[in-house]
Chain A
Amino acid sequence: MDAIVSIRNMTVDFDQGHRFVRALHGISLDVGRGETVGIVGESGCGKSITWLAALGLLGKRARVGGRVMMGSKSLLDLDPNGLADIRGGKIAMIFQDPSSSLNPVHRIGRQIGEALRLHRGLRGGAAKAEAKRLLDRVGISNAAQRLNEYPHELSGGMNQRVMIAMALAGEPEVLIADEPTTALDVTIQAQILDLLRELSADNEMALVLISHDLGVVADMTERVAVMYCGRIIEQAATDALFSRPVHPYTRGLIAALPDIVGPKRRLASIPGTVPPPDRLPPGCSFAPRCGRADQACTDRQPELAGIGGQGHDVSCLHATELAMTAMREAASNEMERA
């Protein structure tokens, strides 16, 4: 598959005044045309920073290394004008809290119009007609009237639809959705996820879904990358990842989830907490919380390496052995269901 965006070995260091703290330790990730990719991990694992860094949105205190290629363009080397064309035009981003991403003192129509003017050069009547079409497209009824309303007059779900309409204004090839439904109620979340799924299928638009919610990611994506402490520790096709998780952290996350179906069981929690980025343990960052860790795990950081083909990559010294266990479990689950 041809990658539309490819991140290679990206690092991010934050300036803490007297020293730099590394938040991202070399991320490599490809997003194919029209593909939906999920990025999961707990707070502070670097899942949002990856994309903010790629789009040059981290500000002066961050030092970004590595390469981000989009076609023949290297995003990290672009001047501000070049970046402005990419942002919104090629890669659009929507965030968790729509009401703080929208300007409260401008009408919806004007905010969408601004994106249309910047990215497509539309003005006046043409911009208004296109803005109305976009609002219709994201399922807002009464679009013509809504254009004249302010963000506070709309509900949270409506505002997220407006954000999506603005993101679509530049006809992007990639949409980065950073926790797009976390602030919304379950029934509204279902509406927004359906909309995103439909849009990405219709427009051949790649969708990168950043979320802490494994359920949302399992539901929406074709491929998933799991991050922990600034590294991708496992990535695979979504089905493979959730039916045969290999890395102890991924396995732990899945076991820690309460469920709505099936027998009620005691949750298997992961002991300890995520270490802060400036106090990472030596070797594998997950070793202190891992039941499988031995001496070797604290000596060196394992590389992300493929196991069993089909693009299933794991960064764990015990990957081969754990993969066998995962296969056995998957088989016995299969038996149970049958």
Chain B
Amino acid sequence: MNAADKPLLSVTNLKRHYDVRLPGGLFGTPATLKAVDGISFEIMKGKTLGLVGESGCGKSTTAKLVLGHIPVTAGEIRFDGEKVTANHNAQWRAMRRRMQMIYQDPLGALDRRLSVADQIGEPIQIHTPETPKAERDERVASLMADVGLRRDMADRFPHELSGGQRQRVVIARALSLKPDLLVGDEPVSALDVSIQAQVLNLLDDLRQSTGFTALFISHDLKVVRQMSDRVAVMYLGRIVESGAPEEVFRRPQHPYTQALVSAIPTIRRSAVANRIVLKGDPPNPVNAPPGCPFHTRCPSAIAQCKSEVPALLETAGHKVACHLVNNAPAGAGIAAE
């Protein structure tokens, strides 16, 4: 096995539960919110995994867990073979240098009192304080050029930049330490269409030139398809389907993915005709239903779905967690073109 076949990030049976109190009784009733409930995935070196799902499905919690920002309830995260913990000791800091994050809101992620150049140079100063200033300035200038920021913007402050430029600063900052893993949590969701395309192309170019591995989180299936080598669809803290984006979005197997894909309005096909509109809202993750988390909204649920949690089973690289798909005779499937 050579280096390229080894996963850079591997996550096994990851869980994150929160103790919460529901209304009722004097101090409320204790309950458990299962934000992430047993997910496993691997990202190979240089590849990008797209994580999609609706709000509250646990995508952002997964990002925080992967970076060791919050402790896990159960399961294991390994980054380049080493275990990621939430103990913020020297070992974690050394690892964290190699894992960087891009957030949705660039203004919130930047320090309003630092100029663009200081902003981008700050991680270098923190993690390698021995770097001489001249070398740091040179690195900052080359990073700015890489992300398409003009040289004269170096002295500007975040409020003087447009949304797209701010996100470029955030990206330059994240790349300043040459990370091996980049975690993007809705990195283009706050941007307008024309700027979104610029930033997506930029990330694509940078990935080719620097070869970073990425975990790309978004609610937008079109953006995820554009960016990812593999995708995983989450629902209520679990992965319900994963595989190559072409496969998952063209021939979705899980009823949830089918509804999700069909619900996206696009200008290149008329979605109205064969749109699957799900009834109701996703259930509250505090009292997630037993069995398959999706059975309350699933148009084709059977009795087994209400009691048994379906396992994520693989057929030719395409994994699905659905009783209807996994119990069906080979090749039958419930999916329709």
Contacts and interface: CB of A to CB of B under 8 A. Distances in A.
Q: Are A and B a genuine interacting pair, yes or no?
A: yes
A242 B267 contact: yes
Contacts of B272: 219
Nearest to B224: A258
B151 to A, nearest CB: 17
A256 B197 contact: yes
Interface stretch (A108-116, A183-191, A292-300): A183-191
A306 to B, nearest CB: 23
A261 B198 CA distance: 21
A194 interface: yes
Given A191-B277, A270-B197, A258 B265 contact: no
B164 A215 contact: no
B44 interface: no
Contacts of A158: 281
Given A218-B266, A260-B261, A273-B162, A185 B194 contact: no
Interface string A248-267: 00001110111111101011
B311 interface: no
A259 B200 CA distance: 13
Contact of A269 (B194, B249, B282): B194
Contact of B194 (A190, A193, A253): A253
Contact of B267 (A187, A218, A270): A218
B260 A267 contact: no
Interface in A174-212: 185-191, 193-194, 212
Contacts of A230: none
B54 A187 contact: yes
A122 to B, nearest CB: 30
A327 B270 CA distance: 20
Interface stretch (B24-32, B133-141, B215-223): B215-223
Contact of A218 (B193, B219, B265, B277): B265
A42 interface: yes
Given A257-B222, A267-B226, A269-B197, A42 B192 contact: yes
B90 to A, nearest CB: 41
B265 A260 contact: no
Contact of A261 (B193, B263, B269, B279): B269
Contacts of B165: 273
Nearest to B269: A261
A259 B222 contact: yes
A212 B193 contact: yes
A41 B154 CA distance: 30
Nearest to B162: A273
Contacts of A190: 263, 275, 277-278
A269 B264 contact: no
A256 B196 contact: yes
Contacts of B54: 185-188
B308 interface: no
A158 B194 CA distance: 31
Nearest to A197: B272
B13 interface: no
Nearest to B200: A267
B250 A186 contact: no
A155 interface: yes
A267 to B, nearest CB: 4
Contacts of A215: 264-267, 271
A253 B221 CA distance: 18
Contacts of B250: 261
A89 B268 CA distance: 37
Interface in B267-312: 267-272, 275, 277-279, 281-282
B221 A260 contact: yes
A269 B260 CA distance: 26
A291 to B, nearest CB: 13
A43 B195 CA distance: 11
A7 to B, nearest CB: 24
A201 to B, nearest CB: 12
B201 interface: yes
Contacts of A186: 54, 219, 221, 260, 263-264
A130 interface: no
B193 A253 contact: yes
B204 interface: yes
Nearest to B192: A42
Interface in B163-214: 164-165, 192-198, 200-201, 204
Contacts of B192: 42-43, 212, 274
A259 B266 contact: yes
Interface in A109-165: 155, 157-158
A258 B222 contact: yes
A331 interface: no
A216 interface: yes
Contact of A257 (B164, B193, B204): B193
Nearest to A139: B279
Nearest to A270: B194
Contacts of A262: 268
Nearest to B245: A264
24 contacts: A42-B193, A42-B195, A185-B282, A186-B221, A186-B263, A189-B263, A190-B278, A191-B277, A191-B278, A191-B279, A212-B192, A214-B267, A215-B267, A215-B271, A218-B266, A219-B272, A256-B197, A257-B197, A258-B200, A259-B222, A260-B249, A260-B264, A261-B249, A261-B268
Closest 4 CB pairs of A and B: A215-B265, A256-B197, A269-B197, A185-B54
Given A214-B193, A261-B250, A268-B197, 14 more contacts: A42-B194, A43-B192, A188-B54, A188-B281, A218-B265, A254-B267, A257-B267, A258-B223, A260-B266, A261-B269, A262-B268, A266-B201, A267-B226, A273-B164
